[in-house]
């Protein structure tokens, strides 16, 4: 996994001819034995600069968490940011969410792949797929559901995007239902030497929220969240060849954030 700090930038603007690898498919076996849908088939893009061509460990732990705690999703409005293959969203929909809005960077290949997964698993009745850039206007996401804010927001393996911490948190603060809503953030420290940078996400989230602060002052802006590190689960390491402690790189962490 690369160390680059950039997010999307010019990733989709190259004129160079490029032959992308064929899409791959992974099958996830669910933890909820009472559901009629026992497996979820996930198509992944063949290759992508936003790392959407992997089914990340964090998404599998998310799926297991929602399956063993279906009340987290049932009858609730759920939003996923940076969804990739969208496994957590599909599990939320299968567990009876009132509506799941699945988003990723508005690149056609990404969005078409998510829609394919929704349709292939016959979950289109309560799922909407949209392109969305973190930190931009949330009007379209508000208009998709009747209550305008979300009960559950999913961030699966996104905190390695250090330059995008403020953008993600800005969107979460605008769209989370105060008091009762929860943002669930699951991730792995894929680059152990940058683990402290990953954890800055939660420090920024906890800073007091003051609307009078200049939003461009990244050292002063805060979002007023309460946070709780409530889960750790050991998985297989994603990339054997990567440097750094294997135990760190194979552990999925789960946090929840809420607005008091």
| Interaxial angle between packed helices 87-94 and 108-120, expressed in degrees from 0 to 180 and rounded to the nearest 10 | 30
Residue (of 165, 52, 153) closest to 102 by Cα position: 153
Range of the domain at 235: 24-258
Q: Which residues of 62-88 are buried (b: 16+ CB within 10 A; e: fewer)?
A: bbbbbbeebebbeebbbbbbbbbbbbb
Domain with residue 183: its CATH number is: 3.40.50.150
Indicate the number of domains in the chain.
Answer: 1
In the structure encoding, which two tokens stand for residue 89, read together? 């969203």
| 8 lies in some domain | no
| 168 lies in some domain | yes
The C-alpha atoms of residue 225 and residue 183 are separated, in whole angstroms, by: 10
Residue (of 129, 126, 127, 161) closest to 50 by Cα position: 161
| 59 lies in some domain | yes
| 239 lies in some domain | yes
Question: What rounded mean pLDDT belongs to the chain?
Answer: 90
**Residue 158 above 50 pLDDT?**
yes
In the structure encoding, which two tokens stand for residue 220, read together? 């002063």
| 154 lies in some domain | yes
What confidence tens digit (pLDDT) does each residue in 88-142 have? 999 999 999 999 999 999 999 999 999 999 999 999 999 999 999 999 999 999 9
Tell me the HSE value of 86 on the side-chain side, using a 13 A CA sphere: 36
Are residues 67 and 45 in contact, defined by beta-carbon separation less than 8 angstroms? no
pTM greater than 0.85 (yes/no)? yes
What confidence tens digit (pLDDT) does each residue in 65-81 have? 999 999 999 999 999 99
């Amino acid at each position: 996994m690369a160390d680059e700090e950039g997010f999307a930038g010019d990733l989709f603007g190259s004129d160079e001819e490029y032959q992308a690898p064929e899409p791959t498919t992974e099958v996830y076996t669910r933890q909820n034995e009472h559901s009629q849908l026992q497996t979820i088939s996930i198509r992944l893009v063949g290759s992508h600069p936003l790392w959407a061509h992997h089914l990340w460990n964090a998404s599998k732990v998310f799926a297991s968490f929602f399956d063993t705690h279906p009340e987290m999703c049932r009858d609730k409005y759920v939003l996923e940011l940076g969804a990739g293959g969208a496994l957590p969203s599909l599990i939320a929909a299968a567990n009876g969410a009132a509506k799941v809005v699945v988003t990723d960077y508005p690149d056609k290949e990404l969005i078409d792949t998510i829609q394919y997964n929704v349709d292939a698993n016959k979950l289109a009745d309560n799922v909407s797929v949209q392109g969305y850039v973190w930190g931009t206007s949330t009007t379209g996401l508000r208009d998709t559901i009747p209550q305008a804010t979300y009960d559950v927001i999913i961030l699966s393996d996104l905190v390695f995007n250090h330059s995008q911490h403020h953008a993600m948190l800005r969107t979460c603060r605008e769209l989370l239902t105060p008091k009762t809503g929860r943002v669930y953030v699951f991730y792995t420290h894929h680059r152990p030497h940058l683990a402290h940078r990953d954890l800055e996400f939660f420090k920024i989230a906890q800073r007091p929220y003051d609307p009078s602060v200049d939003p461009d002052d990244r050292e002063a802006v805060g979002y007023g969240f309460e946070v709780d590190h409530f889960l750790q689960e050991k998985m297989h390491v994603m990339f054997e060849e990567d440097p750094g402690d294997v135990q760190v790189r194979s552990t999925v962490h789960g946090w929840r954030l809420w607005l008091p």
